[in-house]
């Protein structure tokens, strides 16, 4: 499939992890993933460190990257002040996030959706002052842990809101991993129809085992980028019932980007094993489980001695 990949291990993947990675290891991981061929990375968050302590060193990670790497990374932000602080540290890719549902937005950000929308023009202006780019990131695009199914009219109203003008992409988020391929196709296609000038990123979780299928439906409907995390790490601290992101290993094994060969896949599997082990979290990648099977006649299986 013709699609690019964004690894979100260092933000969404780590925000619920029991242990953090050293800053130096995060910087090295950025370079390793870029060298493999992964096109984009989400490397941190401006969330309050007392609420999400694994994100406390986000700006230190940014400081350790060179200018070329900074052009390909994204930072989670939720307020104009977040954007201003990140911009001063050299960030140029800002993911401005809020939820389609008021209940989740209040739990996650501390305000209702309307307040986040009202502040978005100031966030875009702050990014523009440094030549930055802003993504419109719509969390709970499908379901909310407190309100249930999010009406598609609610999702469309955000897409149509003139205060989102100036964004470069829309990130359609299945925050809880409760969407099905048909609904993913429907809402991504709607985003493509309503905002044809924007790129579309699909951010999925694998709670109900449909992560790869949903990503495929998103690409079929017009998504340009899909998100994944090594080993299926991740989850939202304010979204009870959600499990990890769709595993990056599973996505690339299913879609076979041009940069993926057996060697690159093995490296990716090893990175996922290392990172999940380091933060003491389970590795949920199904492709990794297959790669470590006894079916050694299959070229994608990693030899037992390796």
Going by C-beta distance under 8 Å and a sequence separation of 6 or more, which residues neighbour residue 171?
Answer: 95, 97, 135, 136, 137, 138, 201, 202, 203, 227
Buried b (16+ CB within 10 A) or exposed e, 149-159: ebeeebbbebb
Looking at the DSSP bridge assignments, the partners of residue 174 are 204
Q: Are 80 and 72 in contact (CB under 8 A)?
A: no
Is-catalytic flag, 97? no
> Alpha helices of the chain — where are they, by DSSP H?
23-36, 58-63, 67-70, 80-88, 102-109, 113-128, 152-160, 181-194, 211-221, 248-255, 262-278, 286-291
Helix (H, G, I), strand (E, B) or coil at 304: coil
Which residues belong to the active site?
Answer: 236
């Amino acid at each position: 499939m013709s699609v690019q990949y964004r690894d979100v291990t260092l933000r969404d993947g780590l925000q619920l992890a029991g242990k953090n990675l050293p800053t130096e290891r995060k910087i090295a991981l950025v370079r390793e993933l870029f060298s493999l061929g992964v096109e984009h990375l989400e490397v941190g968050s401006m969330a309050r460190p007392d609420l999400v302590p694994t994100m406390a060193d986000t700006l230190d990670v940014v400081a350790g990257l060179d200018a070329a790497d900074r052009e390909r990374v994204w930072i989670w932000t939720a307020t104009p002040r977040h954007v201003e602080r990140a911009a001063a540290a050299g960030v140029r890719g800002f993911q401005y996030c809020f939820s389609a549902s008021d209940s989740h937005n209040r739990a996650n950000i501390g305000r209702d959706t309307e307040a986040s929308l009202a502040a978005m023009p100031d966030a875009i202006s702050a990014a523009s002052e440094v030549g930055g780019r802003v993504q419109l990131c719509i969390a709970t695009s499908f379901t909310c842990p407190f309100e249930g199914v999010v009406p598609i009219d609610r999702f469309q109203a955000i897409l149509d809101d003139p205060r989102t003008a100036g964004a470069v992409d829309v990130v359609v988020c299945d925050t809880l991993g409760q969407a099905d391929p048909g609904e993913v196709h429907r809402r991504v296609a709607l985003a493509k129809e309503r905002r044809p000038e924007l790129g579309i990123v699909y951010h999925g979780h694998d709670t109900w085992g449909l992560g790869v299928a949903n990503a495929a439906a998103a690409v079929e409907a017009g998504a340009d980028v899909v998100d994944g995390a090594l080993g299926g790490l991740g989850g939202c601290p304010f979204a009870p019932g959600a499990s990890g992101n769709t595993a990056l290993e599973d996505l690339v094994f299913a879609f076979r980007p041009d940069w993926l060969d057996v060697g690159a896949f093995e490296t990716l599997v090893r990175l996922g094993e290392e990172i999940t082990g380091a933060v003491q979290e389970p590795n949920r990648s199904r492709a990794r489980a297959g790669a470590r099977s006894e079916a050694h006649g299959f070229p994608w299986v990693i030899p037992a001695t390796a």
